[in-house]
Amino acid sequence: MSDTQTRLGRAPIGSFVALGDSFTEGLGDETSEGALVGWADRFADRLAHRSPVPLRYANLAIRGKVIEEIITEQVPRAIELAPDLVSLCAGGNDILRLGSSVDRITDRFEEAVVELSGAAKTVLVFTGFDPRGTPVLRHLRGKIATYTAHIHAIAERHGCAVVDLWSMTSIQHPQAWSEDRLHLSSEGHRQVALRAAEVLGLAPTAPATPTTPVRDASAAAVRRGPARQTERLEDLRWAKEHFLPWLGQHLLGKNPHETLEPKRPELLPL
């Protein structure tokens, strides 16, 4: 058991604040009425049932946010709330931008961690996903791996708990991802919530869901014939319907008519 797990085992978590972008807001994990759930809501629900004290929970994450926006808009609010536990997942939208510097992104990430560590008892951070099965994004695999290594180093220096998304085999299959291949599905968010609970010593180690692995880019590259042609056509359809609109939105900015607010801006009982 890690030092973080031991510490949390002695001190019940009475308050939890989640910071970040679409991943923490819960895109890809919607109810039948269209409300967003996501790993943070699922984790908070599990935490509330396991904690001997009532849980208060706030989720300040907003889709599309880059690390500078998270630091200037969300981190100060989290410091005001002074929770027992704060989660920080940031930098993913920055890394996908042309010309972005991983060193610059992680320098700002570490500054945020230092500030949050002074207000919260425990800081939970997340690495990047392994994009090897995603067209286009798999070409950024080296950059995301470097980012992941930096996150581990930051966590080591400041005593953070880490959810290593890169190594999670339970999300390395198509069922863990929504149709756009950019956001987790309900199953993917469920797996991350379970992993976060495990990292914090709140759940036993759960085996990965036995499913078909995500296509490996290197294996797909050597395929020939109709199967490979079908994959290419599917990848082109995905790029046209999902990736290019998403990329354009990020490069040109958000829809000016779209008002985005945190779904749980206050630290309230779950």
pLDDT 10s digit of each residue in the chain, 270 long? 455 544 555 578 999 999 999 999 999 999 989 899 999 999 999 999 988 889 999 999 999 999 999 999 999 999 999 999 999 999 999 998 878 899 999 999 999 999 999 999 999 999 999 998 777 778 889 999 999 999 999 999 999 999 999 999 999 888 999 888 788 999 999 999 999 999 999 865 544 554 444 444 444 444 455 555 555 555 555 555 545 565 556 544 454 445 589 999 999 998
Q: Letter for the amino acid at 224?
A: R
Domain count, the chain: 1
Q: Where are the alpha helices (DSSP H) in 120-182?
A: 141-158
Angle subtended by helix axes 102-117 and 141-158, to nearest 10: 30
Boundaries of domain holding 247: 3-269
Tell me how crowded residue 242 is: count the other CB atoms within 10 A of its CB.
16
pLDDT at 236: 52
pLDDT at 1: 45
pLDDT at 259: 54
The model's pTM is 0.82
pLDDT at 16: 98
pLDDT at 73: 97
3-state SS of 172-236 is CCHHHECCCCCCECHHHHHHHHHHHHHHCCCCCCCCCCCCCCCCCHHHHHCCCCHHHHHHHHHHH
Query: What is each CA distance from 53 to 24, 41, 47, 87, in whole angstroms?
Result: 24, 18, 10, 19
Give yes or no for a contact between 51 and 89, defined as CB atoms under 8 angstroms apart. no
CATH number for 265: 3.40.50.1110
What residues does 57 pair with on adjacent strands? 16, 268
pLDDT at 252: 47
